[in-house]
Amino acid sequence: MSFSKTRLIVTILTVFVGVAAHAQTQTLINIEGAPAAWRLQDYVGLSPGVTVWFTGSSCTNGQLSFPSGTSSDDQNRFWSLIMAAKIAGQTVGVYYYISGSSCVLNSYYFPP
């Protein structure tokens, strides 16, 4: 095997191990409950714009926000899920992780 191929393989493996290690250190936290008291807020012009407050998360005022680069479609689906659950009095679930001083949404769902 040539030196350049070996170097390329080592570089790829190093990146893979680094990404895998980062993913393992990011602990997901689950909240499941009725969002009747959650406050949805859309910060127009900011990306991401949708933030939810008073969820019971460990962040200040129970804040959860989307990671940067989250599509408008994903934020719209989240908004719709929360509004539907509020109207119907149903439970929702979210997974989030802590990044610095922020609680960042990872996924959301209607439980069975």
pLDDT band at 11 (very low <50, low <70, confident <90, very high): very low
**In terms of residue numbers, what domain contains 35?**
27-109
In a domain, 13, yes or no: no
Q: What's the N-to-C CA distance of the chain in angstroms?
A: 53
**DSSP structure class, residue 36:** T
Give the E-state strand segments of the chain in sequence order: 29-33, 39-42, 50-53, 64-65, 92-99, 102-109
Token pair in block for residue 97:
């992780």
State the number of CA atoms in the 13 A half-sphere of 51 facing the CB.
Answer: 21
0.75 exceeded by pTM: no
Residues 30-83 have pLDDT tens digits of 999 999 999 998 887 666 789 999 998 999 999 999 998 899 899 999 999 999
pLDDT digits (tens, 9 = 90+) for 22-32: 445 689 999 99
The answer to whether residue 34 sits within a structural domain is yes
Using CA atoms of 9, 14, 19, 25 in order, give the dihedral in degrees to the nearest 10. 150
In a domain, 102, yes or no: yes
Residue 93: CATH number of its domain? 2.40.50
Classify residue 67: in a domain, yes or no: yes
Task: Count the domains in the chain.
Answer: 1
